[in-house]
Amino acid sequence: MTKLRLLWESGRSSLWFVPTVLVLGAVVLAQGLIEIDRHIDRTNLEAQWPRLFGAGAAGSRGMLTAIASSMITVAGVAFSITIVALALASSQYTSRILRNFMRDRASQTVLGTFVGIFVYCLVALRSIRGGDEGAFVPSLAVLFAVALAFVGIGCLIFFIHHIASSIQAESIIQSAANETIDAIDRLFPAEMGEATGADISPGSEPPPGVQVWQSIPARRTGYIQGVDYDGLLGFAGAQNTVVRMERGSGDFVVEGSPLVSVAGGKPPDDETAAHLDALYTIGRQRTMAQDAGFGIRQIVDVALKALSPGINDTTTAVTCVDYLTAVLARLATRQFESPHRMDEGELRVIARGSTFPGMLGEAFDQIRQNAAGNVTVLLSLLQALEVIAVRTQDTHRRQALLRQADLIAEVANRTIPAPQDRDGIEAALERVAQITKKET
């Protein structure tokens, strides 16, 4: 199931999947209308609606040829605009957001519509016969081609507007944030109660009675895109052992380095190693199928690019902090699954997963480190911590927020010399401290 989800995500993130589906649909539509034309009385249609169905073979060929040539030209222009937009977004923001552009369903549909209309006209053209060939003109298919031409004109206007909107910083950041929130809702569906324990970090100590771990090396190099947790649990239960994950979703693994470890003194055979390795999906880039942190990474990269000396775009950096606030506020109310996975009361899998402090650090650490001397961004970070702190009653999460606030205060005190500039930061720091120290 995990591999199917990742395969679906890969298809969605490509520029060929939706256009291919639309092209196949166009072929089926054209062939279907041609078959209908073969079984209807064309004489009655021409008599009742001569302006719609009265075109001859030459006129129909000319019409379909004009539509086909126009649509393939427009399709080429649309693909060129898409490539330019991708290049601009990559240089202005970060190459990691290109995936969001490529998986944009509106752009894929428009490109597929242009190519689909072209293919539709080709299929309809080959069915037209005139003169000594035994005259046949698929009037219904030709009429529908004219209607599709108007659809193509509307798609072109929409596409230009959509591209102009989608390359704006706010649209790019919002798109990444919305996808990240969707991943959080899918990966962390359980809401926290009023009283919860600390987020448990993945442990590395063996359970009682286990003295030796036998490691299984990775057979590929790349990012872990997905893990079949049910498969790991089933294997551990069938072998009556404990499996410890050495790398989790989103981690980079090098061929030959430990991927998982199995409790016990006997080294696993090649078949067992191959089975465990197959439970991991490793690719050349991170995805959000099981890795909500990748969405945070995309927004952080945009913020870092905005804070770079060559761009120095404080407004975009603040926008990134605002949307990271929305992501972490959603995350602050969610229950993280324990890394210790049980089966019938027995520990079977020690997983590696996300924790709230870890994702908080991934969101704010690098922005804080690159915002030295920037009063606006540092103040935005403290305001974000204030909003997040209100959302959670968990003591350990509030302590993580307070530690982050202290680090921001240290950067501000070290890099902002003017007391007036520090006043707002100190006031925000005091508010965060009051919230995080409030009794739950």
| Residues spanned by the domain of 276 | 213-283
Can you point out the beta strands (E) in 286-404?
A: 340-343, 346-350
67 and 102 in a single domain? The answer is: yes
Q: Is residue 406 part of a domain?
A: yes
Looking at the structure, do residues 10 and 135 belong to the same domain, yes or no? yes
- Domains contained in the chain, number: 3
Q: What is the pLDDT of residues 161-216, one digit of tens each?
A: 999 888 888 999 999 999 999 999 999 998 865 434 444 444 444 445 546 889 99
Task: Tell me the mean pLDDT in the region 37-63.
Answer: 70
Q: Cα angle at 287 between 280 and 223, to 5 degrees?
A: 50
Q: In this structure, what token pair is assigned to residue 188?
A: 């962390």
Q: Would strands 346-350 and 243-245 be described as parallel, antiparallel, or unpaired?
A: parallel
Q: In this structure, is residue 51 part of a structural domain?
A: yes
Let me know whether 319 and 244 are in one domain.
Answer: no
Residue-by-residue DSSP string for 72-119: HHHHHHHHHHHHHHHHHHHHHT-GGGHHHHHT-HHHHHHHHHHHHHHH
359 — pLDDT class (breaks 50, 70, 90): very high
Q: Say what the pLDDT of residue 134 is.
A: 60
Confidence at residue 196, expressed as pLDDT on a 0 to 100 scale: 40
Distances (CA, A) of 437 to 193, 194, 339, 423: 19, 16, 28, 21
193, part of any domain: no
Lowest mean pLDDT among 32-46, 126-140, 195-209, 325-339: 195-209
Note whether 18 and 159 are same-domain residues: yes
Give the model confidence (pLDDT) of 88-109 as tens digits.
888 888 888 887 788 888 999 9
Residue 398 to residue 68: CA distance in whole angstroms: 62
The DSSP result for 282-317, as a single string, is EESS--SSS-THHHHHHHHHHHHHHHSTTT--HHHH
Tell me the average pLDDT of the chain.
87
Give residue 206's pLDDT. 46
Instruction: Report the Cα 404 to chain-centroid distance in Å.
Output: 27
Judged on CB neighbours under 10 Å (0-12, 13-18, 19+), 233 is middle
Beta bridge partners of 340: 350
243 and 260 in contact (C-beta within 8 Å)? yes
Shared domain for 51 and 141, answered yes or no, is yes
- Range with the lowest mean pLDDT among 195-209, 347-361, 378-392? 195-209
Note whether residue 199 is domain-resident: no
Do 362 and 404 have their domain in common? yes
Do 222 and 311 fall within a single domain? no
End residue of a domain, out of 147, 167, 187: 167
For residue 292, pLDDT beyond 60: yes
Question: Is the domain of 311 the same as that of 382?
Answer: yes
381, 270: one domain: no
Question: What's the pTM?
Answer: 0.84
Residue 432 predicted with pLDDT over 70: yes
Task: Summarize the confidence of residues 340-352 as an average pLDDT.
Answer: 90
Residue range 367-387: mean pLDDT, rounded: 95
Across the beta sheet with 258-263, the strand order is: 213-217, 258-263, 243-245, 346-350, 340-343
| Cα 357 from Cα 139, distance rounded (Å) | 66
Asked if residues 413 and 422 have their Cβ atoms less than 8 Å apart, the reply is yes
Residue 156 within any structural domain of the chain: yes
pLDDT in tens, 122-144: 999 988 887 655 677 788 888 89
Euclidean distance between CA atoms 413 and 149, whole angstroms? 63
Alpha-carbon distance of 323 to 194, in angstroms, equals 26
The band of 48, judged by pLDDT with boundaries at 50, 70 and 90, is low
Same domain as 279, residue 305? no
Is residue 264 scored above 80 in pLDDT?
no
User: 275 and 223: one domain?
Assistant: yes
Residues 279 and 312 in one domain: no
Domain containing residue 277: CATH number: 3.90.1170.30
